[in-house]
Structure 1
Amino acid sequence: MTAERPESFAGVGDAFERLWTPHRMVYIDGENKPADASAGQCPFCRAPGRSDAEGLVVGRGEVAYAVLNLYPYNPGHLLVCPYRHVSDFTELTDAESAEVTALVQRAMRVIRAVSHPAGFNLGINQGEVAGAGIQAHLHAHVVPRWQGDANFLPVVGRTKALPQLLDDTRTLLAKAWAADVAG
Structure 2
Amino acid sequence: MSQQDEVRIEFAESLAGVPDPFGRFWTPHRMAYIGGENKPTGPRADDGCPFCTAPGRSDEDALIVHRGTACYVIMNLYPYGPGHLLVCPYRHVSGYVDATEEEVAEMASLTRSAIRVLSHVSHPQGFNVGMNQGAAGGAGIAAHLHQHVLPRWVGDTNFLPIVAGVRAVPQLLSDGRRMLAEAWENHA
Matches within 5 A, 1:19-168: 19=17, 22-40=28-46, 41-152=48-159, 162-168=169-175
In structure 2, which of residues 7, 28, 34 is the aligned counterpart of residue 13 of structure 1?
A: 7
Query: Quick one: which amino acid aligns to residue 49 of structure 1?
Result: G
Which residue of structure 1 lines up, in the alignment, with residue 20 of structure 2? Answer: none
Q: Structure 2 stretches of 5 or more lacking a match?
A: 18-25
> What is the distance in 2 between the residues matched to 1:92 and 1:152?
36
Larger Rg: 2
Q: Residues 21 and 61 from structure 1, CA distance in 2 versus in 1: closer, same or farther, beyond 3 angstroms? A: closer
> What is the distance in 1 between the residues matched to 2:59 and 2:75?
10
Q: Residues 32 and 60 from structure 1, CA distance in 2 versus in 1: closer, same or farther, beyond 3 angstroms? A: same
Q: CA deviation at 1:177?
A: 0.9
Deviation digits for residues 60-79 of structure 1 (CA, Å, limit 9, x no counterpart): 10000000000101100000
Q: Which has the higher contact order (CA 8 A, sep 6+)?
A: 2
DSSP-derived class of the 1:12 partner: helix
8 Å contact from structure 2 (residues 29, 78) kept in 1: no
Which residue of structure 1 lines up, in the alignment, with residue 21 of structure 2? Answer: none
Q: Residues 131 and 54 from structure 1, CA distance in 2 versus in 1: closer, same or farther, beyond 3 angstroms? A: same
Q: CA deviation at 1:155?
A: 8.3
**How much is the aligned-residue C-alpha RMSD, in angstroms?**
2.3
Deviation digits for residues 42-63 of structure 1 (CA, Å, limit 9, x no counterpart): 1000111100010010001000
8 Å contact from structure 2 (residues 81, 151) kept in 1: yes
Identical pairs, percent: 58
Segment of structure 1 superposing worse, 83-92 or 35-44 = 35-44
Segment of structure 1 superposing worse, 15-24 or 102-111 = 15-24
Q: Residues 162 and 131 from structure 1, CA distance in 2 versus in 1: closer, same or farther, beyond 3 angstroms? A: farther
Query: Quick one: which amino acid aligns to residue 124 of structure 2?
Result: P
Query: Quick one: which amino acid aligns to residue 57 of structure 2?
Result: R
8 Å contact from structure 2 (residues 82, 171) kept in 1: yes
